[in-house]
Structures are given as C-alpha cells and as structure tokens.
Amino acid sequence: MLDKQTAYKRAIAKHLYFNKALSCADLSELTEKSLPLTTRILNELIDEGVVVETGYANSTGGRRPQMYSLKADLMYIVSVSMDQMITRIVAVDMNNNYVGEVKKLELVLANNPDALHQLAHHIDQYIKSTGIDKEKIAGIGIGMPGFVDVIKGINHSFLKTENGVSIVSTIESVVGIPVLIDNDSSLIALAELRFGSVIGKQNAMVINVGWGIGLGMILNGELFRGYNGFAGELSHISLFTNNKMCGCGKSGCLETEASLVAIAEKAIHGLQQGKLSILKNLSLDHIETTSEAIMDAAVKGDKFAVDLLTEAGYHIGRGVAILIHLLNPELIVLSGRGTVAGRLWLTPIQQAVNEHCIPKIAKDTEIEISSLGYQAELIGAAALVMEHYDELDMIRNRNHGSGVMTQ
C-alpha cells in the first residue's frame, strides 16, 4: 500500500494528466488538500523532474497563477483501439500527445482462435519499433468490442482464452508491461468524459457509431458499467421485425438497420438495383474502405449516400428516444468511426426523437457530434491506464522496486 505522500503525488500526477495544466490552487481544490501541503508536494515533484512550470494562466484580474504540467516524456502509455476487423496502436506521452504515427493493422476477431496471440505479438513488436524503454511505459490500455469482464480480464465475445487464463495475463506474459482492458464503447465514453464533450456533465450518453451501435453511459459524473460490466448494449435492442440475423444470434436488433455494416449492405444492394450515385466498386470484403466512401459521398452531397445515412440516423434516433425516456440525460454525444459524416447524423436523429419522445422529457437533452471523433477510443484506452495508475505502479513495483514515477 502506498504511503500518504506517495499517494498524494500520484493523485497530482493523475489530475495533471487529465487537465494538462493546473495551478497550485486548482490542485489543492481537486485533491481537497491544503494549499501549503500542495505547494510543498509540487515543489518536490519539480525537483524530481516529474512536474514542470508551464507559464501563467490567462488574466482574470489580479495576479496570474503559475501553471504546472507533467513532464511530457516522463512516462508513456501504449494505447490500443480494436474493432472487429481493425486494430490501431500508438504511444501516448504524459501530455496526452501521440508519439509517432498510429500503427494500423488488420486483425479479424471473429472465428480467429489465434487473434489473442497475434495481438500480443503486434503490441510487442510495436513497442520495440518505438525505441521506448519498457521501464518508461506506465501500462497498456486496450479497448475492444464484445462483452468484456474487466475484473477477470476476459472477453466473452472475442479473444477467447483457455483454462481460465485471462487476456490480460496472456499479453503481459509477452510484453512484460501491466495491461488493462475494457469495452470499446465504454472507453469512448471515458474519453469524452475526460477530454471531450462530457467534461463537467453529470448524466450523458455516448453513442459509438461503428460496425455496431455501442453505448457508453455517464451517470452521476462517472462511467456506468452495470452489475457485470455489460451495460450499454444499445446495438442489441430489438426494434425491428425485419428477419435480419444479428451477430448476437437474435433478429431485429438496432445494428441490423443502423450500423455502418448495414449501411454498406444497403448501399451495395441499391447500386445493384440501379440507384444513381458517385459511389462505385463497393464491397463488404473491404468494409472499412466502403463505409468511408459512403460517408465521404454523403458529405459531398450525393443524394443516395445522404439517404442511407438519414435512414440509419433515424433508426439510431429511435434508440436515443428510449435512452431519453429511461435515463433523462442532459447530453447525447455521437462518437466513434461513424462521426466522419459529422452533422449529417443530427437532423434524422432529432426527427426520431421529436416523433418518439415525450416533449417534456426530451426538451432539455442536447445532441451533438464528438470533437474527438475516430480518435476517441485511442484517447480512452490511454485514459484507462491513468485512471488506474496507482494499481499499475504497484504491480511494477513488486518486481522493480519503489518510486514515485520511473524515469
């Protein structure tokens, strides 16, 4: 267990990571510690090379306070963002900036018994390619689709393991660095809470528009996962009698009509039926390229592409209406891969809300597009590591000795 002073230093480091720059008074208020104690600890962290002075805050009258940040290259986080087909990996510094280019690779999860070992290998190779000493990596955060049990470190949908071995321990055995995993939509919501549209909000729903329709829920200012960690499966609310089988094994789920895969299927079918469009050569074998082409065409004003997104957006709006009735959120944020299409989603979603919601309940709920977009999951995976920084540090310390932060 950490002593009080070390624990307070950890708390300051976490606040600086999530806020980028804070004054001594800010830190004192956030940590609920006295100003003299906070000043002393800050000075110690500066002497240790953990914290740096970053100038003065903008003037609001009176003396401008000195601002402090973490030293950018003090430590790094390896952030991993996964969906059913594409995995992205990047190193993040202590100012939440990417180090180098995002590594993107095809890693199909469905019906791939070797997917976990492939993932561990790719992460290990990526770390080696960066030249970053593993001692300077605080941890690895991984967002992934499926029913993720964050306590047991397993995924009931993908990356199956045997004999009770967890995903976490499997990857740690290869890379030698602490690992944390979570559901992709939960991490997108965490990114929005810490760095995006949900900062300062108490109750918000973050919808992940991708190969499914994921949901991360912020309730009472915190990420809500439910009893077993499986809360937020908006994608599998049964809204249709369309006889379309969903990946979950049921029919009529929201994702069968509103996901990017469903949109791509409808686009291909429409073109085969003679629909006029600038879209050409679409294929489900290249679903990422196809979905990007559809959204790009819609942004350019292609009527067929706009109609496809409008129909899907309306269906998402029906799901949003249910969320508003159940949870009365102050904010709905559209995030994830699909937000490349931007504001084109808003009108059909709002139309569905207008038609399916009791006006009194819906009138104060704002709906907006994420400013983080497709980067949200990578940002959230890094944030996951810093949310649990104390625990990861203790894991490392069992093998490498103690200290505030490794340098």
The full set of domain ranges for the chain reads 4-70, 76-187+377-400, 197-371
Look at residue 5 in the predicted model and tell me its pLDDT: 85
Pick the residue with more confidence: 152 or 355? Answer: 355
Task: Work out the mean pLDDT of the chain and round it to a whole number.
Answer: 92
Fold match flag (4-70 vs 76-187+377-400) = no
The residue written with tokens 């009529």 in the block is 252
143 torsion bin: left (phi>0), alpha (psi -120 to 50), beta (else) = beta
Which two three-digit tokens encode residue 262?
A: 């469903």
CA angle 160, 180, 101 (to 5 degrees): 100
**Mean pLDDT score, 377-383:** 97
Pair 210, 312: CB distance under 8 Å: no
**How far lies 264's CA from each of 191, 275, 292, in Å?**
27, 14, 10
Look at residue 236 in the predicted model and tell me its pLDDT: 93
Name the pLDDT band for 392 (thresholds 50, 70, 90).
confident
CATH class of the domain at 76-187+377-400:
alpha beta
Look at residue 64 in the predicted model and tell me its pLDDT: 84
The residue written with tokens 């940590």 in the block is 31
Residues 178-210 have pLDDT tens digits of 999 999 999 999 999 999 999 999 999 999 999
Residues 6+ apart with CB under 8 A from 238: 250, 251, 252, 253, 254
Name the pLDDT band for 404 (thresholds 50, 70, 90).
very low
**Mean pLDDT score, 367-389:** 95
The CA distance from 96 to 21, in Å, is 12
403 pLDDT higher than 50:
no
Name the pLDDT band for 59 (thresholds 50, 70, 90).
low
The CA distance from 91 to 78, in Å, is 4
Look at residue 406 in the predicted model and tell me its pLDDT: 41
Residues 231-269 have pLDDT tens digits of 889 999 999 999 899 888 899 999 999 999 999 999 999
**How far lies 337's CA from each of 1, 255, 280, 383, 400, in Å?**
40, 14, 21, 19, 39
71 pLDDT higher than 70:
yes
**How far lies 393's CA from each of 137, 168, 170, 399, in Å?**
10, 16, 19, 10
**How far lies 116's CA from each of 158, 174, 253, in Å?**
9, 11, 28
Name the pLDDT band for 63 (thresholds 50, 70, 90).
confident
Which two three-digit tokens encode residue 324?
A: 């508003």
Distance linking the first and last C-alpha atoms of the chain: 21
Look at residue 402 in the predicted model and tell me its pLDDT: 37
Count Cβ atoms below 10 Å from residue 199 Cβ, excluding itself: 11
Residues 21-33 have pLDDT tens digits of 999 999 999 999 9
**Mean pLDDT score, 166-180:** 93
Pick the residue with more confidence: 91 or 151? Answer: 91
Single out the residue of 375, 393, 391 nearest to residue 187, CA to CA: 375
371 pLDDT higher than 70:
yes
Which two three-digit tokens encode residue 310?
A: 């409008």
**Mean pLDDT score, 109-127:** 95
Look at residue 407 in the predicted model and tell me its pLDDT: 38
Could you tell me which CATH number the domain at 4-70 has?
1.10.10.10
DSSP reduced 3-state for 359: helix
**Mean pLDDT score, 389-397:** 69
Report for 64-68, 117-121, 145-149: range of highest mean pLDDT: 117-121
Pick the residue with more confidence: 4 or 37? Answer: 37
Helices (H) and strands (E) counted in the chain, each on its own, are 14, 15
Name the pLDDT band for 398 (thresholds 50, 70, 90).
very low
Name the pLDDT band for 62 (thresholds 50, 70, 90).
low
**Mean pLDDT score, 307-323:** 97
DSSP β-ladder status, 86-93 and 76-82: antiparallel
* Consecutive H or E run containing 139: strand 137-144
Name the pLDDT band for 405 (thresholds 50, 70, 90).
very low
Residue 238 DSSP label:
B
Name the pTM for this structure.
0.92
Single out the residue of 70, 80, 64, 33 nearest to residue 48, CA to CA: 70
357 pLDDT higher than 50:
yes
Which two three-digit tokens encode residue 266?
A: 């409808």
CA angle 266, 268, 272 (to 5 degrees): 115
Look at residue 337 in the predicted model and tell me its pLDDT: 92
Name the pLDDT band for 391 (thresholds 50, 70, 90).
confident
401 pLDDT higher than 90:
no
DSSP β-ladder status, 86-93 and 98-106: antiparallel
**Mean pLDDT score, 120-138:** 96
**Mean pLDDT score, 6-16:** 91
Look at residue 60 in the predicted model and tell me its pLDDT: 65
DSSP reduced 3-state for 98: strand
Could you tell me which CATH number the domain at 197-371 has?
3.30.420.40
* Consecutive H or E run containing 185: helix 184-195
Look at residue 151 in the predicted model and tell me its pLDDT: 86
CA angle 284, 285, 288 (to 5 degrees): 75
